[in-house]
A and B are shown apart, each in its own frame.
Chain A
């Protein structure tokens, strides 16, 4: 009898230990369903590498509330069907925070995330009106929308012209599909409001032939060119600009332009080129330097060092700093384990958070899931990025009109 008691006690103790360890080792997981093999490969390797580095760094420092963090990176090849599969698989493994870095996949997952009450982070991709937290309760496009970015570009141009845009011509060159078309509406609204002349130059995908657009630009001679193109498109544009003798400093790009593109244009030739951005460009950013010190110098980086010398790496660090900071807040506010509900509360308690000078400060609220949408303009000086303005979110009333009008269609 005594022996049996002992055995039972040992079993119970073992059971308690087992269950204890399993709940302790349960990490906070982020489902990183990315396109690592098709259309988004110009940015996805750097961003996913940043995500994995950041998770490593946080675990080295003891995790969040004593629990480790984990990023699960999977490829979906930019196919909605595979993105949904990735989402379904990981959500059954207990993941409730997802990031897709792909507009088609983000669109495809959105209805499911809303239904299942899981957090869909979609910084810089997906539908812009999802910043409206009253409609899209579970979707967090933290960062600027394309509408906000375009408005900020106009605000910068207004600064350059001393607050008077009445006889300024602004050209808008864009990939002629939803990504590029999105800012048109807000640009038209602002053209009416500020009295500048807006000229539109659509470019057919994949953007390798822009000859006709740029010779039209030469004829019209606008004062500034706002460009909504991706990676290779910028390189072709710069060649055409040189051919047409259009100075490089007229060019203001969307945030999707990185050091690889600068290298392809030629560091010297790209001097004067501008870019709207929500993260600090260049390599001297505290968080990145810490990564180099703690991981790469010890040979423990999650990928090649070259990938870290890229603004998309900074973008990745910014995106995942937000994701992990929200988890930390959630653990602070409502304790462990973190649930989708408490994580949501964590996100919405982020206030003026800038990840140690990594990005524009963001303040996420239940109404504004974009965190304020601040960006600034940086200029390439031949060697590095030089900020031209402070962080700003201009014309937010106009931007929110567009957001509300669009999100109300979803709510129907």
Chain B
């Protein structure tokens, strides 16, 4: 009824390999795109600026991590460090006089180089050992940032980002920042949507499922792992640079510390490995829910006139938030993306499947 389908019946390969197998999905994507474009005009600036914007940038970053963890199956615990490389190299490039467009690409490339250099060393090991090696990269990066004033910018290790300017246009308004974030997130999403239709995407999945089985099929698993690391690092680098350029306005080591790495990984896992829409949901849950629950609890206690100590008040949202993650993963271990998929599959041919039963 909702999808106006009685089932999905492909009759040729072209229709099977479309991005959207079902017209309703395409319509929904178009609807989201319109909402996204119209957001500055329909969403109050507080929510645009402190919820939508970080949500979109982190989604782009999480999609990058999903590429290496979800698609290629390589656990990565140093993702924030890669974002830091991108952010710092882009800012230094701009301060040196390079225009932002090129600086963003420099940031992405620098991140890709460092990320895949590490992957070269790291990929000699697998699984948990690889995870630990990437964690080592995170710690090395933390150390470098806190010990080199030349990179981190001196006093309390903070580096001011010059004003963002794209295509000769200085960007200073909330709306402008939003569109930059939106554009980047859209770009990454389109890339990821198409990835699963390409040979590269299929090779990555083959490597994830069993790397030597993939090797027997003629897929060079080492090459594809490196490629996955490099691509995801590029996305991380640009996302990191944009995060600083449009949201933080200055880079500090705490913004890219080890708990941020864990957070991005949590976004990907809670959202669902190798699920694109799941990444959107996962980022929303990990990034935005604490703040939302916080203000909800504050206003509820105010509305009820209950006198709760500020400290207790601060810990209740954390408990709710933690419980929320556990409950979601109990209901659906494959994450929010799969949860959405279940609902979608149920409604796909409803109510005709009920008749069949």
Among the listed B50, B249, B294, B310, which residue makes an inter-chain contact with A45, where contact means beta carbons less than 8 Å apart? B310
A224: Cβ under 8 A from any B Cβ: no
Are the C-beta atoms of A89 and B253 separated by less than 8 Å? no
Closest chain A residue to B54, Cβ basis? A81
Inter-chain contacts of B51 with A (CB < 8 A):
85
For A92, the closest partner residue in chain B by CB is B46
Determine the interface band of chain B, counting residues with CB < 8 A from chain A: 35 or more
Bitwise, B26-69 to A at CB < 8 A (1) or not (0) is 00000000000000000001100111001000000000000000
Smallest beta-carbon distance B302→chain A, Å: 10
Q: Are A127 and B156 in contact (CB under 8 A)?
A: yes
19 contacts between A and B (CB under 8 A): A37-B318, A74-B298, A75-B310, A77-B290, A77-B314, A79-B290, A82-B290, A92-B46, A104-B252, A107-B158, A108-B250, A108-B255, A112-B249, A126-B156, A178-B157, A303-B309, A409-B153, A409-B155, A410-B160
- Tell me the residues in window 149-208 of chain B with beta carbons closer than 8 Å to chain A beta carbons: 153-158, 160
Contacts of B156 in A (CB 8 A): 103, 107, 126-128, 178-179, 182
Chain A residues near B248 (CB-CB < 8 A): 80, 84, 108, 111
A129 nearest CB neighbor, chain B only: B155
Q: B21 to chain A: which residues have CB within 8 Å?
A: none
Query: Given A82-B291, A85-B51, A92-B46, does the pair A127, B158 have CB atoms closer than 8 Å?
Result: yes
Looking across the interface, which residue of chain A has its beta carbon closest to that of B263? A79
CA distance in complex: A354, B157 (Å) = 32
Q: Is the CB of A406 within 8 A of B155?
A: yes
The smallest beta-carbon distance between A35 and chain B, in angstroms, is 8
The reply to whether the CB of A339 lies closer than 8 angstroms to some CB of chain B is: no
Is B155 a contact partner of A81 (Cβ separation < 8 A)? no
Is there a chain A Cβ closer than 8 Å to B101's Cβ? no
Whole-angstrom CA separation of A9 from B45 in the bound complex: 39
Residue of B45, B155, B298, B314 with highest tally of chain A CB at under 10 A: B155
Q: Give the A interface residue count (CB, 8 A).
A: 44
Contact with A along B134-160 (1 / 0, CB 8 A): 000000000000110000011111101
Check A177–B146 contact: CB distance below 8 A: yes
Q: How far is the CB of B89 from chain A (nearest CB, A)?
A: 18
B311 near A84 (CB under 8 angstroms)?
Answer: no
A88 partner residues in chain B, CB cutoff 8 A:
46, 49-50
Assembled-state Cα–Cα distance A406/B158 (Å): 11
Also in contact, A75 and B287, with CB within 8 A (given A88-B46, A92-B46, A104-B252)? no
Is A48's CB under 8 angstroms from B252's CB?
A: no
Which residue of chain B has the shortest Cβ distance to A85 in the bound complex?
A: B50
Provide the residues of chain B in CB contact with A177, threshold 8 Å. Answer: 146, 253
A85-B50, A85-B51, A104-B254 known; A36 and B310 CB under 8 Å? yes
Q: Which of chain B's residues has its CB closest to A52's CB? A: B310
B70 within 8 A of A: no
Contacts of A291 in B (CB 8 A): none
- Whether A107 contacts B252 by the Cβ 8 Å rule is yes
Distance to closest chain A CB from B257 (angstroms): 9
Shortest C-beta distance, A23 to chain B (Å), equals 23
A178 with B314, Cβ < 8 A, contacts A77-B290, A409-B154 known: no
Is the Cβ of A74 less than 8 Å from the Cβ of B158? no
- Tell me the chain B residues, 57-110 only, with Cβ under 8 Å from chain A: none
B291 to chain A, nearest CB (A): 5
B247, A84: Cβ atoms closer than 8 Å: yes
Bound complex: CA A127 to CA B318 (Å): 29
Q: Does B313 contact A (CB under 8 A)?
A: yes
